[in-house]
Amino acid sequence: MKRGYITSETTSKQFFDKIEEEVNEVFDEYILHKKGKPNKLGEELSDVILTCLNYAHHFSIDIEKEILKKIDKNETRKD
């Protein structure tokens, strides 16, 4: 996981640590955005998404299937 390299030994904990790191970077960029300063909010959001996709791939989760199930669940949910 260091510098983004995933090996067969990469653990869930290492992925979760990386996701946390990336979410913190999103928050930092959000603060800059709110202050009207130049920021990389979109880039950092992309990093979160890519890390999550890598997690799903690494642990053989059919993320497309899960996303479609979640969308269906959200559409039929009563608020």
User: What average pLDDT is seen over the chain?
Assistant: 93
pLDDT band at 1 (very low <50, low <70, confident <90, very high): very low
Domains of the chain: 2-76 (1.10.287)
pLDDT band at 74 (very low <50, low <70, confident <90, very high): very high
Q: What is the value of pTM for the model shown?
A: 0.84
Q: What is the percent of the chain with per-residue pLDDT over 70, rounded to a whole number?
A: 94
Q: State the angle between helix axes of 41-58 and 12-34 in degrees (0 to 180), rounded to the nearest 10.
A: 170
> Quick check: 39 and 56 in contact, CB under 8 A?
no
| pLDDT reported for residue 63 | 97
| pLDDT reported for residue 78 | 77
Q: Please state the separation of Cα 11 from the chain's center in Å.
A: 16
Helix (H, G, I), strand (E, B), or coil: what is residue 57? helix
Please state, in angstroms and as integers, the Cα–Cα distance from residue 65 to each residue in 2, 28, 40, 41, 77, following that order. Answer: 29, 32, 30, 27, 18
